[in-house]
Amino acid sequence: MATPAAAETSDGALAPVARVLDTIDRGAQLAHEQGRPDLVEHLEAARTRLRQGTATVAVVGEFKQGKSTLVNALLQTAVCPVDADIVTAVPTVVSHGETVGVTAYLQPVGDGPVRPVAASLSEMRELVAAHPGEGGQRYVEVHLPHRMLRAGLRLIDTPGVGGLDSAYGQLALGALQTADGALFVTDASQELTQPELDFLRSATERCSATALVVSKTDLYPEWRRIVALNTDHLRSAGIDVPVLPVSSFLRLRATTDPALNEEAGFAPLVAHLAAVVQGQAGRAAEQASAEVDFVAEHLAAATRAERAVLAEPVRSEEVIEDLGRTRQRAAGLAAASASWKVALADGVQDLIADVDHDLQQRLRAVLHEVEGVIDSGDPLDTWSDTEVWLRRQVATAVLANRDLLQSRATDLAADLAADFELTGGAFALRLRGLSDVTETASLPDAAEIALRPGRLQSVMMVTRTTTFGPMLILGVAGLFGIAMPIVGVAAAAVGAGLGKRALREETDRVRSGRRAQAKAAARKYVEEVSFVLSKESRDSLRVTQRQLRDDFQARAEVLEASLAAAHRAAQQASVLPPEQRAARSRELTTHTDRLTQLSTPAGAGRAAG
């Protein structure tokens, strides 16, 4: 049963999209009339992006807080397994499809791509429980014919394994960088912990449309007090997010008893998701509108040139010459040797070097710190905790490095567009997702680190040292006829002292061996992470380079074609007889009015100019 909020998710979100799609249709018609198939193709690409746009909402939180059950309750469909013995270890992406479908994306072999394999809902239990580090799934995608999903909602049920301050927690934060919204799920059994508050603060910095969902209100009678405490904690921490208490169990029961819908508390949650979808749809519509403005500007170029010639026939030759020079400069932008292509290649190479240096610097700092941690204790007792700490610190460093890559790549695109006047439309960099190598790279377990090398040798060394001194003293005493009782006491004391010292030295030696083994394991782990992520960063930036090159090249070619059309229009207008100029001026006025109606307010001024 669809709630009013669900209906809003569908209809309200699609309204701005429908308006822009209508504008794209009219723009394509004008481009077709002016003989500009390149601009028609540009608008068709914008139409495709707009129609395929989705609002991605990540469901995050500690494990066993009800994230998977929440997704099932939202869609009122058993999508994610929720058995007591199941812990989600693989991200599950749920999006719209005309029919139910499941695809498992397997870990790549070597440097190959991620491998998609068709599956079914009945296999979800095995799919989501498989750990990605064991050669299993990278993620699982589910398609459902659901109204909320059809409106553009896309849900990601993220793993909570290892805690929010683990490497997985850092990976979840990394995923929020490109998410449109986030639902942080905690149950009503207790108030928010400090790690949860810290995670929420970081989450809101990366994704402003974050909400706190307090789940399992049907299980805990004191849930209202917990919600009030959580609200106070958020206020004290300066975290401004909506707090949404829900009962997934009652929501699922509402399929047979609609009266339970209100008690389940899902209406505010669905309304929040509707706002996220509408916000994303609005941004997508703005980007598509910018593409329409881009097309309108280029369609207006020929009109402006022709009107300038008709308005002042005596300046026809001057206008035509200016257009010719501008056309030549535009041809230079589209040429294979264009300076912006060299600047793009140089900029990407510099960025690759800077990002790699930043990664190495951060990982070296972590390695130096972990060596200090290892030296401060005995890996026999501390290795398990050290491993968790190391993975978290490396993941934190990797996330910061990824933020630098994202920021610098965006700046590079904006600078190139501004420097070479190739602006227009919107640039959406398609950087690859953050790797989970920080969690899947191998580290030895505590049992391997705790091995005592040379145990028999150590025992023999201590025994020899302990007995050698007393035996020597007794031998000398017998040689000189010294009283044996007195000598025996002295020999025993010397043996005990030597044995204690030898045992301490041997213990230190074995501990130092474990520390060296632990440091070697840490270095090997950091080197593996560095090797994998350095290549991923280079690959991602090269993809970005090709994307920007192709996008700017297309815009340069459009600019050249527009100026060529303007040059031809000015030449044709210059030879019109006087009796035809007035009629042509009226036609151009009508055409300008159509372009003005096509453009948004920002673009209308340029088109009318």
pLDDT beyond 70 at 93: yes
Q: What pLDDT is attached to residue 191?
A: 93
To the nearest 10°, the Cα dihedral for 230, 232, 234, 238? 180
CB atoms closer than 10 angstroms to residue 47: 18
Residues 369, 376: Cα–Cα separation, whole Å: 11
Q: Which of 6, 57, 5, 67 is nearest to 246 (CA)?
A: 67
Longest Cα separation, the chain: 145
Q: What pLDDT is attached to residue 6?
A: 41
Mean pLDDT score, 523-530: 89
- Which positions ≥6 away from 468 have C-beta within 8 Å? 498
Specify the residue for token string 């150590």.
Answer: 458
Read off the pLDDT band of 503 (50, 70, 90).
low
Residues 247, 227: Cα–Cα separation, whole Å: 13
pLDDT beyond 90 at 244: yes
> 145 and 97 in contact (C-beta within 8 Å)?
yes
Tell me the residue length of the chain. 609
To the nearest 10°, the Cα dihedral for 431, 435, 438, 442? -150
**Least confident interval from 248-262, 274-288, 477-491:** 477-491
Q: What pLDDT is attached to residue 134?
A: 44
Q: What pLDDT is attached to residue 604?
A: 47
What strand order describes the sheet that includes 92-96? 115-119, 101-106, 137-144, 92-96, 153-157, 55-60, 181-187, 210-215, 243-245
Q: Which of 244, 190, 242, 237 is nearest to 214 (CA)?
A: 244
Q: How far is CA 297 from the centre of its chain?
A: 34
| 562 or 121, which is more confident | 562
Q: What is the mean pLDDT of the chain?
A: 79
pLDDT, one tens digit per residue, over 182-229 is 999 999 999 998 888 988 988 898 888 999 999 999 999 999 999 999
Q: What pLDDT is attached to residue 112?
A: 59
Structure tokens of 513? Answer: 């061996």
pLDDT, one tens digit per residue, over 137-164 is 577 889 999 999 988 899 988 876 455 5
> 144 and 100 in contact (C-beta within 8 Å)?
yes
pLDDT, one tens digit per residue, over 94-127 is 999 989 988 888 766 655 566 788 888 888 877 7
Q: Which helix (H) or strand (E) holds 566?
A: helix 484-574
Mind giving me the DSSP string for 213-254?
EEE-TTT-TTHHHHHHHHHHHHHHHT----EEE--HHHHHHT
CB atoms closer than 10 angstroms to residue 238: 8
**Burial (CB count <10 Å: 0-12, 13-18, 19+), residue 64:** middle
Residues 399, 405: Cα–Cα separation, whole Å: 10
> 309 and 42 in contact (C-beta within 8 Å)?
no
Residues 447, 435: Cα–Cα separation, whole Å: 28
CA angle 421, 427, 431 (to 5 degrees): 130
- Which positions ≥6 away from 483 have C-beta within 8 Å? none
Q: Amino acid letter at 445?
A: D
pLDDT, one tens digit per residue, over 18-65 is 888 989 999 999 999 888 999 999 899 889 888 888 899 999 888 788
Q: How far is CA 562 from the centre of its chain?
A: 38
88, 106, 120, 137, 356 from 117: Cα distances, Å: 19, 7, 10, 10, 34
Q: What pLDDT is attached to residue 119?
A: 85
243-245 and 210-215: which strand pairing?
Answer: parallel
Q: How far is CA 501 from the centre of its chain?
A: 56
